[in-house]
Amino acid sequence: MSYLKRLRGLGEVRLLIELKKFDLALLEIEKLMTDFPDDAELWYFRAEIYFDSGKLSLSESAIDESIRLDPNSSVYFNLKGGIYLAKSNYSKAIKCFEQGLSINPNEATCYSNLSKAYIEKRKYNKAIECSEKALSLSPDDEYSFNNLFWAYTLKGQNVKANSILQENLARNPENPDTVSNLGYQLYNKGDYKKSEEVFRSILAQYPEDGNAERGLSMACSANNGLMDLFNKKWFEQFLKVMFIGTFFLVRNIIRFTESSFTLLLIIPVIMAAIFSLYSFGMAIGKLLSYIRRKQFRSQFTLEELLFSAISVLLYKSGFISIIFLVKEAYETNEISTNSFLVSFYFLLLTITFSVRLDWNSNSNLLNVLLLTACLVSVILSILLVSFWWVAFVSSLILITLDILVSKGVVLRSVT
């Protein structure tokens, strides 16, 4: 009788998980565990519920108990590897997946997840090998097809990646992850308008698809005239000619006149200003997307909009500082060290700040602290614009935070 109760209970748990009613599923599991406290499978389902709820530490504790009770299940090690994968601890994830495969060499899911871990470690050949092995065991696995697509894409074999994507789209044109890959591919090709349309079509059907949300945010940010300009080949050639021309122009001015050699300092400032137009376009694009597309405003977080608005403000101040720098050079035939450092480091701060638009913290408190730190550094830099070291220190603060992001210490980077 107890065994039948367990079977019925597990069936209900599976249904609740599928419906994403995790709180109810957890309550049902806890009821079952009062009768079966040492049931490894129940601990596994508990770990799965915590994992799907985003409670990774609780999930890890539960799956450790499952493994203690039954150390010969590849499924349990696969979930533990998935937890480490979500925590960005790719080395431990790989060990777990390999341990699962040592128990069951035909566990396709372990191969598929191992492929994802190798992609994150930038070991693309191993990722391709694992994806192909997963597909040999499970030919219809969409996740493995998508991993294979990304491995070839990041390896630079775009023709092969496109072939895999088209094959996967033909097999299952409704799969949101596969369609998202099409959106990202269009984004990487610089076709931001079509990329945005693809992500919008996904969100129309799956409003809570996080992958499509991130893609839409990127495409909206890039879908502006400045970004289109940067992708044109003639503009790339124009920049090269301009840099060379500017260098020789300043060189000849110094050679044939009595102008100060400090005029050369205009070159790095102008170069920094031109390259900063790229991230300036991203900030403008994000704000314009929020204004123009009311039905997708829910996809933009307050943090994104604040970062974008502050970036635009910084660029405005940075470009003004360049105007004053050029004015000083024209009137005095030289540039003071302080004026150069103010303009250069203010542009550095602006570029450093604006590329942080996709930060996403693990908690609301960290969101507030991050925004506060950025706002204080930016306000001080604007108010104390005549002191170059303020912008310099602010840039160092943001670069330090960026290191913490990439290491996953306090924040998660969303790309």
Q: In the structure, how many helices (H) and strands (E) does the chain have?
A: 20, 2
Rounded CA-CA distance 367/371 in Å is: 6
Contact criterion met (CB below 8 Å) for 99 and 80: no
Instruction: Let me know: does 58 contact 50? Beta carbons within 8 Å.
Output: yes
Q: What is the pLDDT of residue 69?
A: 93
- Beta-carbon contacts of 414 under 8 Å, excluding residues fewer than 6 positions away, are 214, 358, 359, 360
Q: H/E element holding 361?
A: strand 359-361
Task: Determine the Cα angle at 331 with ends 329 and 337, to 5°.
Answer: 35
* Distance (Å, whole) CA 269 – CA 21: 55
Residue type, 372: T
Burial 82-119 (b: 16+ CB within 10 A, else e): bbbbeeebbeebbbbbebbbebbeebbbbbbbbbbbbb
In the block, tokens 């839409």 appear at 216
Question: What is the DSSP code (8-state) at residue 412?
Answer: E
- One DSSP character per residue, 135-194 reads HHH-TT-HHHHHHHHHHHHHHT-HHHHHHHHHHHHHH-TT-HHHHHHHHHHHHHTT-HHH
Strands (E), 48-95: none
pLDDT of 210: 74
Structure tokens, 306: 């604040």
Do the beta carbons of residue 402 and residue 356 sit within 8 Å?
yes
Assess contact for 231 and 191: CB atoms under 8 A.
Answer: no
What the block records as the tokens of 137 is 């065991």
Task: Quote the longest CA-to-CA distance of the chain.
Answer: 101
- Asked if 230 and 239 count as a contact pair (C-beta separation under 8 A), the reply is no
**CA 314, CA 346: separation in Å to the nearest integer?**
8
Q: Is the CB of residue 246 less than 8 Å from the CB of residue 239?
A: no
User: What's the gap between Cα 269 and its chain centre?
Assistant: 29
**How many CA atoms within 13 Å lie on the side-chain side of 182?**
22
pTM of the predicted model as reported, rounded to 2 decimal places: 0.63
Return d(Cα 46, Cα 16) in angstroms, integer: 12
Rounded to the nearest 10 degrees, the angle between the axes of helix 176-188 and helix 210-222 is 20
The pLDDT assigned to 302 comes to 60
Determine which helix (DSSP H) or strand (DSSP E) holds 35, and give its type and residue range: helix 22-35
pLDDT at 231: 59
pLDDT tens for the chain, 415 residues: list them: 466 777 787 788 888 888 788 888 888 888 888 888 888 999 999 999 999 888 888 999 999 999 999 999 999 999 999 999 988 888 999 999 999 999 999 999 999 999 999 998 889 999 999 999 999 999 888 889 999 999 998 888 888 988 998 888 888 888 888 899 898 888 888 787 888 888 888 888 887 777 787 777 777 766 665 555 555 666 666 656 665 665 555 555 545 444 455 555 566 666 666 656 666 666 666 666 666 555 444 545 565 666 667 777 777 677 777 777 777 777 777 777 777 777 777 676 776 666 554 444 444 455 556 666 666 666 666 666 567 677 677 767 766 665 665 444 444 333 3
Is the separation of the CB atoms in 181 and 149 below 8 Å? yes
